[in-house]
Structure 1
């Protein structure tokens, strides 16, 4: 309790010569109250202030001296109050001093349903603890602090790591999470080793450095009525009861604290605990009590608490009233396609006004999307300009391996720049003018992509894994989705143990012959440390029938800015084909990873009209959409041979017929260009009224009946019956056809 002492001398008390001693005494008491209130308000403990207000007045001008003392005190109060505010945040943002020097906090995810995504090794931490320049030289500490938290995932019990009323986690899930954080060889133990190794390499100036650590308090979901027994009383905790939820909170704090102390981590400093939920549950009447309990308990152990609410989350602006020592505000710009970069400015301004830090958000999409790459660079630029780099900074960058590690190992200078620019931001050495943005040039912008959604078959892919690429639907290669992370569902993994004569094959079927094909490309990935290498070669072959293939040559590897590698063939002279085959020879390692198969036609190609071959008797009437000129019975195959472009032949009922079928009046010639319908022609054979492709007595009788009005002809049959081309059916027409089949006249001459 702050004390304010005001003394009065006996002389003053006994002096009766003054007219208003009681007024003076009343004034001093008033001064005492004012000072007490101010000191208590700002929690100032200062011996100087105690001494300065010891007042002994004997003289006539003692009231003036009181006023002087009051003015002096107010001046000192203002200085101390200013210093007190400055110690909270020099520029308004939360400062490292609030969290024992935590400046750059790396979110280190653990406990994933795919274990590799939650297990970071010492090697995985080394380029995060220390900054390595492009020459591979260790130059400085990078991330000085680490938060160990679970991935947003399904737990072994079927629950969720986050607040999900329908799928609450149980005690065994929480225990497994804690086990994962302290897993031998990974996570917190691996970090301790990495920090120790980094300190040795950096030299004597870093001997005393320790990385700050924060552990996570999981959320006790109220709908969990049988959590498990956390305190050994033989009763399962029911989270409908506040006391049971508090027991669980206490358990996870105590358990992790015990594990940390037992670990004897020489290179780590435990600073505090993180509340895992990112908003305030307004519909939970116990939420305030939970937060108060958690914060009070952690503080009673002399540790700090932190919170990272999402953009405009419930309660984000009340973080201090909940009891947290520091909060960091999420912009969520990276994950909201409709948001503009002004979202980052708004986040910074809000954080500054509320005394928060600003979270930097990185996504694996940055490796294959120029849009997301540029979004990340906007984070660094705007946050630097807004001064957020001077405050506490926290960094989201996906699960293991994470964006920053993958950028560090990348040989692509644009991707490597992510690592280098982030270090500059973290160390407050970034000049916003250093930030460069990449022009968003779309893949294959000069081509019409015709392979999207087409069917294909492949050599047996490798599926014996819990990672995303192990789930194969048979649509990955033509769904239009390029690789966005190293092991996700966009990829198909081929393994050397499943080759077909030493090769992997991809066979795409357009369903019909496509024309003017000039682009053939396959996306690939290489992660040598994971046993994935580029193929030794990829040969591109085509066929009309899926049997005899013609080679177009071998693909050339091309890097398209920040995307994964593309193996491509681009032809100067387009080709036609129904089937396209990728013949892949394995590389130096066990796996070959491929994603989108892209086949395209030049955008400047004008869709050609259907044409007939030179010397053919066919005549195409583009006005009436008729095909004339057939003078003898011909098969479907013979008709196709008379036309320059691939076509589909259907009978009068619209059913596709075999190549040896005789073509008759009413048959359809269906013309599509690379899957896009262009035009349909009806076959009109003069004299063939019944549609069998021949001229016979039956046709003569049908025309005669039509003339007499006892038979009705549709438009195409009417055109075939108009032998003399006078646009009407007359006796002349059936007499000419009679002479034709008797051999005394040729209706085609």
Structure 2
């Protein structure tokens, strides 16, 4: 007897939302599994969904365990006219119990966000195309429940009208129960070069010389200091030297910086009496002031965004400016040239580091400045070539993707060793549950988390409260003891530490308490 043809196992089945859709986009019951597709019109009531809030999960009960060979979910985009965007990422998971889950696939949008008329996009996992994770011989995933999860934008609606689950009843030959997910934060260890708390020190071009660091300014980062500035205990064990702004006004993260901009930042960082020498001096001062064995501060340096310049500049001395544009030289040559620039930069920094002979610093890694994998087809390959160069020199590759970063879930495949996920809660009004949402995403990806605040917390009650929300979330969501990166504007911790206002100085002590493991309530 011939095998039964796969069918839509979800048709007419019951399902549950993790959070109900918005009142003006309601699910009137069974709309996602009724087999009816909505028109490409936001006003068609077939489309249901939400604006803002946490990641949405839709869990379908198939009634009994079945052999699942594919899952599809259809979303609508109509931007900017109707403020509706498809999700950036959709994930698919199966379960036999409805309690423990196994992620079988994730897909980033191929439509991408952009202006245009109403369009739809099907996100999918298919066993034939994608396989079952770690089960190369599998023909299907075996389970009773199917969960579709999708990110929610801060301002645009995400509208869905149908979920289909392809497969067969019962257990066909080769159907396997996938291994359950083990959500976890990235812990300090070999992948983070031993760093637990990484302070971001911005040393580009800023007004009033705020990006020009001295040993005295850096001391409150390496040590917890009292109100007189005296070190009393250790604080951040890692420092990321991070440059953005340049004298020409070009941002090193924009992809618009040429070789001369990169060299300006390099020369500033490594200058005699420059930022790294000041950091070395600060680390020595802290070692001398505190009891116990001396400690070398672990340092991560930055790789700017290469972009796709036709005329980046000559990095190999052949008199020819490097052409990084796929349109000009073709895909493979552009990738080769971009990697050549990254290799030139990395090797030059290592050479200068070794020549400087810093006594109290240890170079442990390189940070890739772009905050998402490029949306082009070659994005993952481009990132992989960057991390390959870093690993050639036995260094760790660091990355800090933003909350809506494209294809952030590919970070391990792209070769990054250490990643911390940005909640982006501090910077704009968002759902109060954003921190819990970001923590959950970080756990599902196996990343650490980025703490985020800046100088405004000293003067703006709203910003102060957001910083306090982060500190409390570290305890409630469990990421305080994970690998954590700390965005603090340009010099917020310095500002807090020197303030004569007890409420502002309290912020320094609260962050220091957090770093040192104290629960913030």
> Which TM-score band applies after superposition, normalised by the shorter structure?
0.5 to 0.7
Aligned to 2:213: 120
Structure 2 residue 307 is matched with structure 1 residue 221: yes
Greater per-residue helix proportion: 1
Aligned to 1:483: none
Aligned to 1:342: 433
Aligned partner (choices 167, 182, 186) of residue 270 of structure 2: 182
Kept in 2, the 8 Å contact 1:362–1:397? The answer is yes
Aligned to 1:232: 317
Pairing 1:365-404 to 2, within 5 Å after superposition: 365-399=456-490, 402-404=491-493
Shift of 1:182: 1.2
Shift of 1:321: 1.2
Higher Rg: 1
Shift of 1:99: 1.6
Change (3 A) 1:355 1:256: same
Structure 2 residue 399 is matched with structure 1 residue 312: no
Aligned partner (choices 284, 289, 300) of residue 196 of structure 1: 284
Change (3 A) 1:96 1:412: farther
Aligned to 2:506: 417
Question: Which deviations, in whole Å up to 9, do the C-alpha atoms of 1:201-228 show, x marking residues without a partner?
Answer: 102x132x11100011111111x11111
Question: Any idea what SS the aligned residue of 1:206 has?
Answer: coil
- Taking the aligned partners of 2:207 and 2:227, their CA distance within structure 1 comes to 32
Structure 2 residue 347 is matched with structure 1 residue 272: no
- Taking the aligned partners of 2:367 and 2:498, their CA distance within structure 1 comes to 30
Aligned to 1:699: none
Shift of 1:96: 3.8
Question: Any idea what SS the aligned residue of 2:186 has?
Answer: coil
Aligned to 1:206: 293
Shift of 1:135: 6.3
Aligned partner (choices 405, 408, 416) of residue 324 of structure 1: 416
Structure 2 residue 370 is matched with structure 1 residue 281: no
- Taking the aligned partners of 1:374 and 1:113, their CA distance within structure 2 comes to 26
Stretches of structure 2 lacking an aligned partner (at least 5 in a row): 1-133, 135-178, 326-333
- Taking the aligned partners of 1:113 and 1:413, their CA distance within structure 2 comes to 27
TM-score (norm 2): 0.62
Kept in 2, the 8 Å contact 1:94–1:355? The answer is no
Shift of 1:367: 1.8
Kept in 2, the 8 Å contact 1:363–1:397? The answer is yes
Kept in 2, the 8 Å contact 1:155–1:169? The answer is no
Pairing 1:498-537 to 2, within 5 Å after superposition: none
- Taking the aligned partners of 1:356 and 1:368, their CA distance within structure 2 comes to 32
Shift of 1:155: 4.7
Question: Any idea what SS the aligned residue of 1:269 has?
Answer: strand
Shift of 1:245: 1.2
Structure 2 residue 339 is matched with structure 1 residue 251: no
- Taking the aligned partners of 1:370 and 1:250, their CA distance within structure 2 comes to 45
Aligned to 2:389: 297
Kept in 2, the 8 Å contact 1:359–1:396? The answer is yes
Shift of 1:115: 6.8
Aligned partner (choices 320, 336, 356) of residue 263 of structure 1: 356
- Taking the aligned partners of 1:217 and 1:409, their CA distance within structure 2 comes to 32
Aligned to 2:98: none
Question: Any idea what SS the aligned residue of 1:388 has?
Answer: coil
Question: Which deviations, in whole Å up to 9, do the C-alpha atoms of 1:387-445 show, x marking residues without a partner?
Answer: 1011111111112xx1111100001111011110111111112x233xxxxxxxxxxxx
* RMSD across aligned positions (CA): 2.3
Shift of 1:286: 3.3
Question: Any idea what SS the aligned residue of 1:229 has?
Answer: coil
Kept in 1, the 8 Å contact 2:227–2:498? The answer is no
Shift of 1:162: 1.8
Question: Any idea what SS the aligned residue of 1:118 has?
Answer: coil
Aligned to 2:495: 406
Aligned partner (choices 440, 451, 454) of residue 363 of structure 1: 454
RCO (CA 8 Å, sep 6+): is it higher in 1 or 2? Answer: 2
Question: Any idea what SS the aligned residue of 2:413 has?
Answer: helix
Work out the number of aligned pairs and report it.
Answer: 337
Kept in 1, the 8 Å contact 2:204–2:246? The answer is no
Change (3 A) 1:113 1:202: closer
Question: Any idea what SS the aligned residue of 1:236 has?
Answer: coil
Q: Hey, which bits of structure 1, 4+ residues long, moved more than 4 A?
A: 134-137
- Taking the aligned partners of 2:459 and 2:374, their CA distance within structure 1 comes to 36
TM-score (norm 1): 0.43
Kept in 2, the 8 Å contact 1:93–1:353? The answer is no
Question: Any idea what SS the aligned residue of 1:239 has?
Answer: coil
Question: Any idea what SS the aligned residue of 1:428 has?
Answer: coil
Kept in 1, the 8 Å contact 2:187–2:196? The answer is no
- Taking the aligned partners of 1:395 and 1:341, their CA distance within structure 2 comes to 20
- Taking the aligned partners of 1:122 and 1:423, their CA distance within structure 2 comes to 19
Kept in 1, the 8 Å contact 2:186–2:418? The answer is no
Change (3 A) 1:155 1:133: closer
- Taking the aligned partners of 1:231 and 1:287, their CA distance within structure 2 comes to 24
Kept in 1, the 8 Å contact 2:191–2:417? The answer is yes
- Taking the aligned partners of 1:196 and 1:226, their CA distance within structure 2 comes to 42
